[in-house]
Amino acid sequence: MTHSNQFLSMKLEPINPAETAQLVLADVPTAETMKSYQMVVIDDETGQQVVVDKYLYLLGRPREYRFNGQNGQFNLYGDRLLMDDKGKVLPSFTFQPIAYRLFEDLLFARTDRELWMEIFFVDTQQCVCSILFNNTSVNELLRLMEPLHYEKLSLCDVILTARPERVTSKSDSGKSWWIARFSYEIASPESVKEYREFVKDNRVFRAETLTNTAQHKILSRSFARLLDSEDVMSVLQQVA
């Protein structure tokens, strides 16, 4: 008895390259399905195209920039000075805010409540970052924010440049410190829109400085949404 093998008798059709390309392209994300702050990369393990955020961010733990009021220098995490291409200390620091809050609180084991401005931004390495200014530097920022307000703009609509300036006490000429003075230029509408979409979809905050004792004066829209959310404290517990 003989048996016919239907699989061996099947006629193999050649693969149409055009049809194959269409099948592959069908799985590629398009501008309609991607967020403005996302991009397509090739996964190292699978070789497939995947969608990722352009900006690197660990929830509640942004990259920490600091302004040192004792020496007028900017640094990362308190120990890495920001230098220019020639190896000299940066004379100014420029960044585009994506979220911010003005608040009064007792931070870092200090003995008195102080006025703080916490600003979030994306640095040149595409990391979500934060920086804090306090006291006199905050007053300088408020002077800048006033005319912006009457132009229907906020800090999230501009690119800020902070320049250290040494000041001397009027009552004691031997006492001096550094403050930050600010200037700005209008940011591109495209970057403003992209950053706003990112902070709308992502909770951008610094867990270390977000407390129940803060008295908030001014909030960016994204930070106001964060504080109004019912699960804000549970989020803080997750990153603690």
Q: What is the reported pLDDT for 182?
A: 96
The answer on pLDDT for 96 being more than 70 is yes
* Same domain? 219 vs 105: yes
* Same domain? 39 vs 157: no
Query: Is the model more confident about 123 or about 211?
Result: 123
Phi, psi of 71 (to 5 degrees): -125, 0
Residue 4 lies in a domain: no
**Burial class of residue 50, CB neighbours in 10 A (0-12, 13-18, 19+):** exposed
169-174 average pLDDT score = 77
Residue 82 lies in a domain: yes
Q: What is the reported pLDDT for 6?
A: 43
Enclosing domain of residue 32 = 17-53
CB 99 within 8 A of CB 155: no
Q: What is the reported pLDDT for 4?
A: 46
Lowest mean pLDDT among 5-14, 159-168, 228-237: 5-14
* Same domain? 138 vs 234: yes
* Same domain? 114 vs 30: no
* Same domain? 46 vs 145: no
Say which residue the tokens 């005319």 belong to. 147
The answer on pLDDT for 205 being more than 90 is yes
Q: Write down which residue in 8, 29, 53 finishes a domain.
A: 53
* Same domain? 145 vs 213: yes
Band (pLDDT 50/70/90 cuts) for residue 19 is very low
Q: What is the reported pLDDT for 237?
A: 59
Kindly tell me the sign of the dihedral angle through the C-alpha atoms of 67, 71, 77, 81: positive
pTM of the model: 0.82
The strand pair at 63-68 and 128-134 is best described as parallel
* Same domain? 48 vs 72: no
Instruction: Report the DSSP beta bridge partners of residue 120.
Output: 99, 130
Query: Is the model more confident about 124 or about 2?
Result: 124
Residue 197 lies in a domain: yes
Angle between helices 189-201 and 221-228 (to 10 degrees): 10
Residue 121 lies in a domain: yes
* Same domain? 74 vs 169: yes
Residue 12 lies in a domain: no
Residue 217 lies in a domain: yes
Q: What is the reported pLDDT for 101?
A: 95
- Each residue's pLDDT tens digit, 34-57: 899 999 999 888 889 999 999 999
When computed from its CA atoms, the radius of gyration of the chain, rounded to whole angstroms, is: 26
Kindly report the average pLDDT of the chain as a whole number: 85
Q: What is the reported pLDDT for 17?
A: 45
The answer on pLDDT for 16 being more than 90 is no
Residue 2 lies in a domain: no
The alpha carbon torsion through 93, 97, 103, 106 (nearest 10 deg) reads -50
Quote the CA–CA distance of 164 and 159 in Å, as a whole number.
17
Query: How many structural domains comprise the chain?
Result: 2
The answer on pLDDT for 62 being more than 80 is yes
Q: What is the reported pLDDT for 228?
A: 83
Residue 10 lies in a domain: no
* Same domain? 166 vs 199: yes
